[in-house]
């Protein structure tokens, strides 16, 4: 029996499909091979959203060549002028927010409120990066020698390769594109094959905002035919990747022989701790949103609920009651809370993990199956396991779906220990009214992000985003820290003494 109430089924016939192209050197062009692939609505797989180029190495070569040529002049455009273009892009995104959000829901399945948020992140990032055009601060510092000036500046890298995922198909590309551009780089982006249209619309807007031809290029296709040639191309200076740990390891190894800079944002197995003194209504609202927002398809999703045994039964009861109010269906329909997962392979993987949880002895108390009542798409019921132990696979491995696990503990110290006992370190949360417990968690949770009395999801663009351990390789996206990915520091000395001075050398 489904844990979710269902609204009307999605219509059998939706919008028509279109043919789209790569964006190379300011022109929309098909793949040189002429090959294409179809993009389908995950809520209704018979709805073909569009046909896109199944590109190959020759298309990557053309895009990189365009970016390399454009870099010669783009790097010399004053950063405030680059910022004005990004600000214009932000304005265009804001004007078209609803249109873009509706197209994104159809493409990747998130409910309309969430796709509006996805577009809003791109708006926020455009405006934030635009402001950095009048900052890009370096430092000045005294010299140890007389009549000598010392300073540092940020310089662009060159051609950047961006490989982005499907779950935030406009927000995450904006996290990479906007800081890359404001720093003076040019780029080639390969969007996820499940969501090329959302990224394409972002590229359209950037071009309309005045970004010169060749500065931004988009090539669609598979990881093997587009991603690998981008990673191995001699003229690409950096690869910024967001996706799974397995693919991220391959990215790292592929780029290593040519010493490319690599930025990796990968998996998470995020925990929310609930202490006995917590506001339980607030906590449960946050747990449900964190676990089932985007159908659990977030790297920051709350996939572990670490609950003190004194409130374990109460939290379980409240979560079950809240889950019964969720409405599963097509994200453009009114009142829907949970959409489909992105494709059939994702659905199959999620259902396999549910079976693994049951076999390992976890208690399935809600959901657990595909939901065919919601429509013909890839719908998985929001699923809750109880009495999970820290070593079970569903407590250790990233499922990337609407599945969360309750793990009872006896103390704050045990809760933190359990939270840290994984290979990832992205996002964490604690619900408590005890300031001492809150600050202990802020200090001791091994993660790039910790929330107090808030869900594990909900990043803001002016703060660093990233994690520890297998979540990434030390870089942070968004905020000023994103500039560290896309710039090189240069140290500059100006000696105006009109004599030979030797640092550290005594005459």
Tell me the pTM: 0.94
In the three-class reduction of DSSP (H, G, I as helix; E, B as strand; rest coil), residue 494 is classed as strand
Question: Are 264 and 164 within 8 A, CB to CB?
Answer: no
Q: In DSSP terms, which residues pair with 449 in a beta bridge?
A: 427
The DSSP secondary-structure symbol of 287 reads: H
Does 12 or 386 have the greater pLDDT score?
A: 386
Output the six-digit token pair for 214. 């060749």
In the three-class reduction of DSSP (H, G, I as helix; E, B as strand; rest coil), residue 315 is classed as helix
pLDDT of residue 400: 97
pLDDT exceeds cutoff 50 at 3: no
Q: Which of 6, 1, 4, 110 is nearest to 323 (CA)?
A: 4
Rounded to whole angstroms, the Cα distance separating 171 from 101 reads: 11
Question: Are 461 and 476 within 8 A, CB to CB?
Answer: no
State yes or no: is 299 an active-site residue: yes
| Residue-wise pLDDT tens digits, 96-123 | 999 999 999 999 999 999 999 999 999 9
DSSP for 53-71, written as a single string: E---HHHHHHHHHHHHHHH
Rounded to whole angstroms, the Cα distance separating 282 from 271 reads: 16
Helices (H) and strands (E) in the chain, counts: 15, 24
Choosing from 121, 299, 398, 477, which is the catalytic residue? 299
pLDDT exceeds cutoff 90 at 152: yes
DSSP for 242-278, written as a single string: ES-HHHHHHHHHHHGGGT-EEEEE----EEEEE-TTS
pLDDT mean over 215-239? 98
Backbone angles phi, psi at 306, to 5 degrees: -95, 105
pLDDT exceeds cutoff 70 at 129: yes
**Residue 324 pLDDT grade (very low, low, confident, very high; cuts 50, 70, 90):** very high
pLDDT exceeds cutoff 60 at 6: no
Choosing from 114, 265, 398, 477, which is the catalytic residue? 265
Rounded to whole angstroms, the Cα distance separating 265 from 274 reads: 27
Rounded to whole angstroms, the Cα distance separating 122 from 367 reads: 34
| Residue-wise pLDDT tens digits, 278-304 | 999 999 999 999 999 999 999 999 999
**Residue 10 pLDDT grade (very low, low, confident, very high; cuts 50, 70, 90):** very low
pLDDT exceeds cutoff 60 at 347: yes
Instruction: Give me the percent of the chain exceeding a pLDDT of 90.
Output: 96
pLDDT exceeds cutoff 50 at 469: yes
Dihedral in degrees, nearest 10, Cα atoms 252, 258, 259, 261:
-60
pLDDT of residue 14: 41
Rounded to whole angstroms, the Cα distance separating 176 from 167 reads: 15
User: Going by C-beta distance under 8 Å and a sequence separation of 6 or more, which residues neighbour residue 317?
Assistant: none
Report which secondary-structure segment, H or E, holds 297. Answer: none
State yes or no: is 397 an active-site residue: no
Question: Are 192 and 169 within 8 A, CB to CB?
Answer: yes
Q: In DSSP terms, which residues pair with 148 in a beta bridge?
A: 495
The DSSP secondary-structure symbol of 224 reads: I
**Residue 506 pLDDT grade (very low, low, confident, very high; cuts 50, 70, 90):** confident
Output the six-digit token pair for 300. 């920051």
pLDDT of residue 16: 57
Q: Which of 398, 41, 35, 378 is nearest to 222 (CA)?
A: 35
Does 8 or 379 have the greater pLDDT score?
A: 379
Q: Which of 60, 83, 70, 29 is nearest to 188 (CA)?
A: 60
Least reliable range by pLDDT among 5-14, 37-46, 186-195, 265-274: 5-14
Domains of the chain plus CATH, in order, are 13-266+472-490 (3.40.605.10), 270-452 (3.40.309.10)
DSSP for 136-160, written as a single string: ---EEEE-SSTTEEEEEEEEE-SEE
In the three-class reduction of DSSP (H, G, I as helix; E, B as strand; rest coil), residue 407 is classed as strand
pLDDT mean over 442-463? 97
Rounded to whole angstroms, the Cα distance separating 338 from 402 reads: 9
**Residue 2 pLDDT grade (very low, low, confident, very high; cuts 50, 70, 90):** very low
Rounded to whole angstroms, the Cα distance separating 322 from 329 reads: 17
* Average pLDDT score over the chain: 95
Question: Are 91 and 122 within 8 A, CB to CB?
Answer: no
Question: Exposed, middle or buried by CB within 10 Å (0-12, 13-18, 19+), for 491?
Answer: exposed
């Amino acid at each position: 029996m489904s844990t979710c109430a269902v609204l009307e089924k999605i219509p059998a016939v939706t919008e028509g499909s279109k043919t789209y192209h790569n964006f190379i050197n300011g022109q929309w062009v098909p793949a040189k091979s002429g090959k294409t692939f179809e993009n389908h609505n995950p809520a209704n797989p018979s709805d073909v959203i569009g046909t896109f180029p199944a590109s190959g190495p020759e298309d990557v070569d053309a895009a990189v060549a365009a970016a390399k040529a454009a870099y010669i002049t783009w790097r010399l455009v004053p950063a405030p002028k680059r910022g004005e273009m990004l600000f214009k892009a932000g304005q265009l995104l804001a004007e078209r927010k609803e249109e873009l959000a509706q197209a994104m829901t159809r493409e990747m399945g998130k409910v309309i409120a969430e796709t509006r948020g996805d577009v809003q992140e791109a708006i926020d990032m455009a405006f934030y990066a635009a402001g950095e055009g009048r900052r890009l601060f370096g430092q000045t510092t005294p010299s140890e020698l007389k009549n000598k000036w010392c300073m540092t500046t940020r310089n662009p890298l060159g051609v950047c390769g961006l490989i982005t995922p499907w779950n935030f198909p406009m927000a995450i590309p904006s996290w990479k594109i906007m800081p890359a551009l404001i720093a003076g780089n040019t780029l080639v982006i390969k969007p996820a094959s499940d969501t090329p249209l959302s990224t394409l619309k972002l590229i359209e807007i950037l071009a309309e905002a005045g970004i010169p031809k060749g500065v931004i290029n988009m090539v669609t296709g598979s990881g093997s035919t587009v991603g690998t040639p981008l990673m191995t191309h001699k003229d690409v200076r950096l690869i910024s990747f967001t996706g799974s740990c397995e693919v991220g390891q391959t990215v790292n190894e592929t780029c290593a022989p040519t010493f490319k800079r690599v930025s990796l944002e990968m998996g998470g197995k995020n925990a929310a701790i609930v202490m006995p003194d917590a506001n339980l209504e607030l906590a449960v609202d946050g747990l449900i949103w964190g676990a089932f927002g985007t159908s659990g398809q977030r790297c920051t999703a709350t996939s572990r609920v670490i609950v003190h045994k004194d409130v374990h039964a109460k939290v379980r009861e409240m979560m079950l009651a809240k889950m019964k109010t969720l409405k599963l269906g097509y994200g453009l329909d009114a009142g829907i809370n949970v959409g489909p997962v992105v494709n059939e392979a994702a659905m199959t993987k999620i259902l396999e993990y549910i079976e693994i949880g049951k076999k390992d002895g976890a208690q399935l108390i809600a959901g657990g199956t595909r939901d065919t009542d919601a429509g013909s798409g890839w719908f998985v019921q929001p699923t809750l396991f109880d009495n999970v132990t820290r070593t079970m696979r569903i407590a250790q491995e990233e499922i990337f779906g609407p599945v969360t696990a309750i793990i009872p503990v006896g103390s704050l110290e045990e809760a933190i220990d359990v939270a840290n006992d994984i290979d990832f370190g992205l996002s964490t949360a604690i619900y408590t009214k005890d300031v001492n417990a809150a600050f202990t968690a802020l200090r001791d949770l091994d993660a790039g992000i910790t929330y107090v009395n808030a869900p594990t999801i909900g990043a803001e663009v002016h703060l660093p985003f990233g994690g520890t351990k297998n979540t990434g390789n030390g870089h942070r996206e968004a905020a000023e820290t994103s500039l560290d990915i896309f710039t090189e520091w240069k140290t500059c000395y100006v000696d105006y003494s009109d004599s030979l001075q030797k640092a550290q050398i005594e005459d």
